Amino acid sequence: MPPAVTGKAQEIIALPDGGWLTLDKQGVRLLDAQGKERSKVSLRAKHLDARPHADGILAVFTDADTQKTHAYVADQKTGQLRLQVSMASPDFSLESMCLYRDAQQLDHVFLIGKEGLSEQWVMHKGSAQLVRKLALPPHSKHCRVDDQSQTLYLSVPDSGVWAFTAEAETAAKLKPVAMLAPFGKLHGGATAISALPGGVAILDANEKKLHLYRQKDEQHFQPEQILNLPHSAANIHVNVSGNKLDFLLQDEQAKTWRASSAAWKQPATSEIVVIEPTMQTDTVARHGDAADDPAIWVHPQDARLSRVLGTNKKQGLLVYDMQGKQTQLLESGRLNNVDVRQNIKWGQHSFDIAMATQRDENSLVLYVINDQGQVAEAARFPTKLDKIYGFCLYQPRTGGLEAFVNDKDGTYQQFRITHNEQGFSSSLVRSFKLASQPEGCVADDKTDRLFMGEEKRGIWVVSAKADQPADLQMVMPVGKQLVADVEGLAMYFGQQKNYLLVSSQGDSSYLVLEAQAPYRLRGKFRVGMNLAKGIDGTSETDGIEVSSVNFGGEFSLGMLVVQDGYKRLPDGTQNFKYIPWSAIARSFKLE
């Protein structure tokens, strides 16, 4: 039980050493197990939240007068409260505040505005950076985050409790958890809330009830327990110990905190490797879902002068240098996928070629790239597809260049590209069909194979040779590891092994498979924030590309380029991120 001195505290947190962290009208106090004050921050504090820290507890609270949010470490060894960072007052009236610790173990702060205007900040080495701006339900009196499920819970007096996606690198989704009667089981409203592993505790003070809700799936929550309380309670604090919940409930009339407990089965946890990007491109000039697919062109003399090509589905083809700076824009229209092949020989001529799908015309656009990385449009080839979509190039070992292009109805067409004195031309050499919508594909030129992503079903492989039948073989079906939609595919050619990389768009992750049967899964990772360089993570990736070329420095083993569906840190239009292959290889011990 908390010592009697905590009776006046408006908020309380039990510490691992038996001590207490309390918030009252005079400030935030660090107490020992007997209630003796060890340290104090004097201010009119509100909204106390905390997470474990190497030296004790990270505590965050706001100054009600200035609206500044402060983060302190409660050092349990020295008994001191040490300031880590102070955040400036937001440009709105602050209603609530809470902490969130992400999969990278980075600490975020949600500042919830009275009228719904809100912000998410991330703290790093004595500073805080704005991650994104948000629109949340007005008058959200309380907020708490379940770090495991990345769920932000909000209590609103006139409606109930809502759940929002805490992870910035995902689509914003607001879902009802527990509504006021007659639409739900709450009668007096949510007086206070506390996040649980896989759920939330909701205090309905007027009814003297504590509701425990469990998150059933991404969209649904269900009531699991309703605890009847012997007294009215104004606030709640929960400690989780195994499959047991220990509650502290504030009894305002008795000026004390009372203990209670309940059983609660914790959900299974799963960890995923998080790898940081080290470079990002300039953002695209169009809002919404615009950036899509990257490709890499390697400079013939100095790989550090190479180029990354990227499609903008609302504008054309973008060209970036190895530092991510845009060097060209070719306004070719609504391009979807792009691919590059180099040193293509036709007669006495040699070309570096990029090609892309043009969705307005249902055509293929061909570009030539000179030795300095300048890109120029050279030809357009019509197709008879109704809804042209995905695309990749294939350079047969016998020479020449071929292009695979698909339609949203599953149709694949294979074209042979040729060149003579009159220019470039194309001819259809093979057609086949998948059962449903494809997009990403990649050709393994060294083994004459084509890997194809069928968005809702999985990854297929087929012979890339035009004179061979299209006998489909499943590489990996959609499931627990590969989450639909299946998007970008790319090939990494290593010294000992080759790898197939896949964008698992449904859970914003990337898979590394061995490129030979049985296509063993070597690893799965997400791309997180690089706060030292001010680069956000990636999410809902469409296209990807990878190269094993030594581009110098951190990219000496090659690099992966991925499209980012949501630009954060701060908000902006979409772009592409560069990730060193060395970080991927190190994480999964790749050969």
In which band, very low, low, confident or very high, does the pLDDT at 387 lie, cut at 50, 70 and 90?
very high
Average pLDDT over residues 38-63: 96
Q: Look at residue 219 and tell me whether its pLDDT is greater than 80.
A: no
In whole angstroms, what is the distance from residue 448 CA to residue 567 CA? 37
Q: Look at residue 443 and tell me whether its pLDDT is greater than 80.
A: yes
What does DSSP say about strands 244-251 and 498-504: parallel, antiparallel, or unpaired? unpaired
User: Which pLDDT belongs to residue 255?
Assistant: 83
Q: Which has the closest alpha carbon to 374: 421, 309, 423?
A: 309
Percentage of the chain surpassing pLDDT 70? 100
In which band, very low, low, confident or very high, does the pLDDT at 193 lie, cut at 50, 70 and 90?
very high
What does DSSP say about strands 199-204 and 509-514: parallel, antiparallel, or unpaired? unpaired
User: Which pLDDT belongs to residue 123?
Assistant: 97
Concatenating the DSSP letter of every residue in 530-578 gives BTTTTB----S---EEEE-S--SGGGTT-EEEEEESSBTTTTBS-EEEE
Q: What is the pLDDT of residues 389-427, one digit of tens each?
A: 999 999 999 999 999 999 999 999 999 999 999 999 999
User: Which pLDDT belongs to residue 252?
Assistant: 78
Q: What is the pLDDT of residues 113-171, one digit of tens each?
A: 999 999 999 999 999 999 999 999 999 999 999 999 999 999 999 899 999 999 999 88
User: Which pLDDT belongs to residue 331?
Assistant: 97
| CA end-to-end distance (rounded Å), the chain | 56
Average pLDDT over residues 345-374: 97
544 and 581 in contact (C-beta within 8 Å)?
no
| Neighbouring C-beta atoms of residue 335, cutoff 10 Å | 27
User: Which pLDDT belongs to residue 533?
Assistant: 97
Q: What is the pLDDT of residues 207-216, one digit of tens each?
A: 889 999 999 8
The CA–CA distances, whole Å, from 231 to 251, 253, 254, 569 equal 7, 9, 10, 45
CATH number assigned to the domain covering 137-260: 2.130.10.10
Residues of the chain with CATH 2.120.10.30: 273-588
Q: Look at residue 217 and tell me whether its pLDDT is greater than 90.
A: no
Q: What is the pLDDT of residues 464-508, one digit of tens each?
A: 999 999 999 999 999 999 999 999 999 999 999 999 999 999 999
CATH number assigned to the domain covering 273-588: 2.120.10.30
How many residues belong to the chain?
591
Top-confidence residue, 421 or 521? 521
DSSP H or E segment with residue 61: strand 56-63
Q: What is the pLDDT of residues 73-128, one digit of tens each?
A: 999 999 999 999 999 999 999 999 999 999 999 999 999 999 999 999 999 999 99
131 and 568 in contact (C-beta within 8 Å)?
yes
User: Which pLDDT belongs to residue 165?
Assistant: 96
561 and 545 in contact (C-beta within 8 Å)?
yes
User: Which pLDDT belongs to residue 503?
Assistant: 97
Query: What is the Cα gyration radius of the chain?
Result: 28
Percentage of the chain surpassing pLDDT 90? 88
In whole angstroms, what is the distance from residue 9 CA to residue 28 CA? 9
The CA–CA distances, whole Å, from 291 to 76, 169, 310, 388, 562 equal 49, 16, 7, 17, 10
| Neighbouring C-beta atoms of residue 456, cutoff 10 Å | 14
The CA–CA distances, whole Å, from 473 to 449, 460, 461, 462 equal 11, 6, 5, 7
User: Which pLDDT belongs to residue 63?
Assistant: 97
131 and 172 in contact (C-beta within 8 Å)?
no
Q: What is the pLDDT of residues 544-576, one digit of tens each?
A: 999 999 999 999 999 999 999 999 999 999 999
492 and 581 in contact (C-beta within 8 Å)?
yes
Q: Which has the closest alpha carbon to 488: 470, 471, 473, 500?
A: 500
Q: What is the DSSP letter of 186?
A: B
Q: Is 319 helix (H, G, I), strand (E, B) or coil?
A: strand
Average pLDDT over residues 189-196: 93
User: Which pLDDT belongs to residue 270?
Assistant: 84
DSSP H or E segment with residue 583: helix 581-588
Question: Left (φ > 0), alpha (ψ -120 to 50) or beta: where does 7 sit?
Answer: alpha
Q: Which has the closest alpha carbon to 308: 582, 577, 17?
A: 577
Question: Left (φ > 0), alpha (ψ -120 to 50) or beta: where does 288 sit?
Answer: left
Residues of the chain with CATH 2.130.10.10: 137-260
Q: Which has the closest alpha carbon to 490: 361, 337, 377?
A: 337
User: Which pLDDT belongs to residue 500?
Assistant: 99
Q: Look at residue 206 and tell me whether its pLDDT is greater than 80.
A: no
Q: Is 207 helix (H, G, I), strand (E, B) or coil?
A: helix
In which band, very low, low, confident or very high, does the pLDDT at 48 lie, cut at 50, 70 and 90?
very high
Phi/psi at 264 (nearest 5 deg)? -155, 115
DSSP H or E segment with residue 584: helix 581-588
User: Which pLDDT belongs to residue 305?
Assistant: 98
Q: What is the pLDDT of residues 224-251, one digit of tens each?
A: 889 888 888 889 999 999 999 999 999 8
Q: Is 587 helix (H, G, I), strand (E, B) or coil?
A: helix
